[in-house]
Amino acid sequence: MKRPTLKDVAKAASVSTAAVSYVLNGKHEKVSGETLERINNVIKSLNYVPDYSARSLVKNQSRLIGIVIPQTEKHAQLILENPWYSEIISGIEGKLRKYGYHLLLSGVNQGESYLDLLIQRNLDGAIIMGIYPEEFYEGLKKIKIPIVLIDSYINDSYFYRIGIDDEYGGYLATKYLIDRGHTNIGMITGAIRREGVVEKRFLGYKRAIRESNLFYNPDYVFEDSMSYDHGVAAGHRIASAFPEITAVFATADMIAFGLIKSFTDEGIRTPDDISVIGFDDVFMSRMFLPPLTTVRQDIKKKGVIAAERLLSLIGEAGDDDNGQSEDLRETILPLEIVERGTVIRRGNGQSLTETEHGRG
């Protein structure tokens, strides 16, 4: 009752293993119609399924795609808690499975051992999220495997990248607040790292402020982590130390949720007392109360496109590229502001002349 092998099938159909292999791989031109049918019958009756390990060994490809998710050092746990990742993975998985590829999901801290994994498991490609040390990317290049980077600003034409214009996003959000009469605008954000998305959004924030001839106050940017908790902490800090701030740009929706929560606890109402704009438009942003005004990117689509790009690199023609050969190295997805309930026009009310520089 052992699992049948290709050899068993060959014997039962009284053909060579080569013939069986041919039909398994759809090389029908190598096999006559009659034997084809015979072999197929045996396969079915024996319940034969090919062994990927063996196949992988000889073909040197695994039909496995690696997905890399950054992992906090503290918790040694995936950042999956951030719904952003869930959404993008959902997009990736859907596409990949359609083409017979499977997902190898790994949390990665500093890149370290992932390179070995890539080699050991013969991965056919990888989709990488997050920012890692220089050496990681160098290692990636050495292993000659198709790589798609999501939200990375690594300036190396070796890699294929899917992203958004984060600088513009930051600008958009900030400008949106400025246009609504806000002049003291805080920014709450994760770590501003060299060439990371956050840095770009920060740049956009500053550009909007300067362009409008407002004063850029470094004290108004609260940098820590892309987390709910940071939002909470920053919210309390703003409430107690910066009453003049009337609007904040959170560089992630999760941060915005934390902000609003702590504002609420402090008795500051959103948007009546302070406006908040987020970034991402994760699934739950529209569920939040009040629904979050935010800079929307199509997260799931990002995943789908990343998967398509990878497939086409592997040679599976997964790209629904309509002929136009744009520069495939870099795909920038559009951004838009979705207006919901957390931003209000300042000066809309009555008492603002009285307490011009603050919420009171």
Q: Under the rule (CB under 7 A), what is the footprint of DNA?
A: 3, 5-7, 14-22, 24-25, 29-32, 34-35, 48-51, 53-55, 57-60
Q: Which two tokens stand for residue 226?
A: 């892309």
- Which among 45, 55, 36, 59 is positioned nearest to 12, based on CA atoms? 45
Cβ 310 vs Cβ 282: under 8 Å? no
What, of a second copy, DNA, none, does residue 347 touch, CB below 5 to 8 Å by kind?
Answer: none
What, of DNA, a second copy, none, does residue 193 touch, CB below 5 to 8 Å by kind?
Answer: none
CB atoms within 10 A of CB 357: 11
Helix (H, G, I), strand (E, B) or coil at 155: coil
What, of a second copy, DNA, none, does residue 105 touch, CB below 5 to 8 Å by kind?
Answer: a second copy
Residues 6+ apart with CB under 8 A from 329: 157, 159, 160, 161
Kindly tell me which of 83 and 181 has the beta carbon lying closer to a second copy.
Answer: 83
Give the CA distances from residue 115 to residues 60, 125, 126, in Å, rounded to whole numbers and listed in that order.
Answer: 17, 12, 11
Kindly tell me which of 117 and 333 has the beta carbon lying closer to DNA.
Answer: 117
Minimum CB–partner distance for residue 46 and DNA (Å): 11
Minimum CB–partner distance for residue 226 and DNA (Å): 39
What whole-number distance in Å separates Cα of residue 15 and Cα of residue 267? 80
266-295 binders of a second copy (CB under 8 A):
283-284, 287-290
Kindly tell me which of 19 and 178 has the beta carbon lying closer to DNA.
Answer: 19
What, of a second copy, DNA, none, does residue 31 touch, CB below 5 to 8 Å by kind?
Answer: DNA
What, of DNA, a second copy, none, does residue 258 touch, CB below 5 to 8 Å by kind?
Answer: a second copy
Minimum CB–partner distance for residue 113 and DNA (Å): 16
- Which among 251, 260, 345, 228 is positioned nearest to 297, based on CA atoms? 251
Stretch in the footprint of a second copy (CB under 8 A) among 10-18, 171-179, 260-268, 311-319 = 260-268
2-41 binders of a second copy (CB under 8 A):
3
- Binding of a second copy by 236 (CB under 8 A): no
Kindly tell me which of 88 and 162 has the beta carbon lying closer to a second copy.
Answer: 88
What whole-number distance in Å separates Cα of residue 79 and Cα of residue 223? 19
CB atoms within 10 A of CB 349: 9
Beta strands in the chain (DSSP E): 64-70, 102-108, 125-129, 147-150, 160-164, 185-190, 221-224, 247-250, 275-280, 294-296, 330-333, 336-338
52-91 binders of a second copy (CB under 8 A):
52-54, 56-57, 62, 64, 67, 75-78, 80-81, 83, 85-87, 89-91
Q: Which two tokens stand for residue 126?
A: 């990888």
What whole-number distance in Å separates Cα of residue 42 and Cα of residue 141? 44
Which residues make up the interface to a second copy (CB under 8 A)?
A: 3, 49-54, 56-57, 62, 64, 67, 75-78, 80-81, 83, 85-87, 89-91, 93-94, 97-98, 102-107, 116-117, 119-122, 228, 257-258, 260-261, 264, 283-284, 287-290, 300
